Amino acid sequence: MWNAGRDDALKKLMLYYIPFTIGLHTHLPELGTSLLLPPFATFAWNVIGYYLSQVLGSKTHNPRPSRQMLLCNEHCSTCASLQELLEQLYVPVQDFCPSRKTQEHFIDTIYELGDFISFTEVTGGRLRVVKHWDFLNSNRWESRLKQARDFLKSIGDDDFIEQLMGNRFKDLKVALEGKSRYNYTAYE
C-alpha cells in the first residue's frame, strides 16, 4: 500500500486514502456492509496507522518533513541557524547577526521563505526573524492532535475506532496522549 517514497506515500495518504476511507465509512452502510468488515477493515486499519505514524508523531517529535527548504548553496552558518529556527516547533522569533559579506544573501534567503517567515532590522546589522502564525501553529503538537482527532471522528466514534483497531487501540490512545509515536507496521 505504501510502496512509494515517503513523500509520495504521504501525498497519496492525504489526497486519496483519507478521503476514500471517510467515503467508505459514509457509503458502506448504504450497501449493507461496514468499514469493520474485510477487506475494508484492513484498508482502514492501515490508513489510520500510517496517518498516526507519519502525521501525528508525538509531543516531542513532528514526523512531517519540513515544508520549507533553504536553498543556500553557500553553506553559511547563518542559514544553518535559520534552518534550525524553522525546525523548532515552539520558537517564534530569533535574532540573527549575519556578517556584512553574507547579509544580502541572508535577506534574499528570507525573502524566498516569505510564506513562512518575515524579518525586521532591529539594530545596525541585526535582523529579527519572525515565523508567520499559520506556519508556527500548523507544526505544533496541538494542531497535529486536533487534525488527528478530527480525522478519527470522521471515521467513527471511539467504540467504532476501538473495534477497527483491535489490539492496537491502546497504542492509538497512547499516541493521542502524545506519550509516544504510533509504531506502524502494515497489516495485510
pLDDT tens by residue, the chain, 188 residues = 556 566 688 889 999 999 999 999 999 999 999 999 999 999 999 999 999 999 998 888 888 756 556 667 777 888 889 988 988 888 999 999 999 888 999 999 999 999 999 999 998 889 999 999 988 888 889 999 999 999 999 999 999 999 999 999 999 999 999 999 999 988 76
Q: Is the residue at 184 inside a domain?
A: no
Q: Is the residue at 1 inside a domain?
A: no
* Cβ-contact 35, 25 below 8 angstroms: yes
Note the maximum CA span of the chain. 71
Give the list of residues 6+ apart from residue 112 with CB closer than 8 angstroms, or none. 71
What per-residue confidence (pLDDT) applies to 133? Answer: 92
pTM of the model: 0.76
Q: Give the separation between CA 94 and CA 17, rounded to whole angstroms.
A: 38
Whether residue 127 sits in one domain with residue 38? no
Helix (H) or strand (E) holding 119: strand 117-123
Whether residue 148 sits in one domain with residue 121? no
Q: Is the residue at 188 inside a domain?
A: no
Which residue blocks in the chain are alpha helix, DSSP H? 6-12, 18-27, 40-51, 77-87, 100-112, 133-138, 141-155, 158-165, 169-177
Burial of 57 (0-12, 13-18, 19+ CB in 10 A): buried
CB atoms within 10 A of CB 118: 14
Whether residue 128 sits in one domain with residue 87? yes
Give the list of residues 6+ apart from residue 105 with CB closer than 8 angstroms, or none. 72, 74, 76, 79, 98
Nearest to 45 by CA among 167, 159, 175: 167
Whether residue 126 sits in one domain with residue 95? yes
Q: Give the separation between CA 60 and CA 140, rounded to whole angstroms.
A: 10
What per-residue confidence (pLDDT) applies to 71? Answer: 66
Residue ranges making up the domain that contains 101: 77-134
Q: Is the residue at 81 inside a domain?
A: yes
